[in-house]
Structure 1
Amino acid sequence: MKQLKLSELTALLRECAGEQEDVDLEGDVLDIPFASLGYDSLAMLQTTGRIERDYEVVLDEATDVAGTPREYLEAVNRALSAREAV
């Protein structure tokens, strides 16, 4: 079963919205709010669109309210699991 990993998410964030110089996405960022990492709602919208296209999954509002990478990954991986169960 395909699951999105933190390393894949951070790579997509960099591709879709760049990276602030003072933020280390290689560190322990699972519970740091996206806003503190330098990613606003537009960056997350772009990342979500990319994931939907690349993984052929429809993401719901759970990804819209996910405030941290951990919450976002959980929402994405639930959608991926549900898609595979069909």
Structure 2
Amino acid sequence: MSTTTTKTEVTLADLTRMLRESAGEEEGVDLDGDVLDTPFIDLGYDSLALLQVIGQIQREYGIAIPDDAVVDAETPHALLDLINSGQASPA
């Protein structure tokens, strides 16, 4: 019997849910809008908030994300690309 590994992709909806759960939502920011290429800082999330989200992603999806790679991911799009590109590895 062969086993196959199904990779679960993290979506923008997943990411915005985790941002809300770990750091709340900035007043006047609509995370349900077109935020894919909006810098996290403009969305009201600092590096501490992102570290919390990364920890949650690692727990929920069982992947390890290098801290130095996260620093360069300044938008939801960049972070999702990092997570879903295979640069993150199984934890």
Measured in 1, the distance between the counterparts of 2:86 and 2:53 equals 15
Q: Which residue of 1 aligns with 2:31?
A: 25
Measured in 1, the distance between the counterparts of 2:89 and 2:53 equals 20
| TM-score, normalised relative to structure 1 | 0.89
Gapped regions of structure 2 (runs ≥ 5): 1-6
Q: CA RMSD in A?
A: 1.6
Higher-helix-fraction structure: 1
Moved over 6 A (4+): none
Largest Rg, 1 or 2? 2
Higher-strand-fraction structure: 2
Gapped regions of structure 1 (runs ≥ 5): none
Give the total of aligned pairs.
83
| TM-score, normalised relative to structure 2 | 0.84
The CA deviation string for residues 33-55 of structure 1, in whole angstroms up to 9 with x for no partner, is 00000000000000001101111
Of structures 1 and 2, the one with the larger relative CO (CA 8 A, separation 6+) is 1
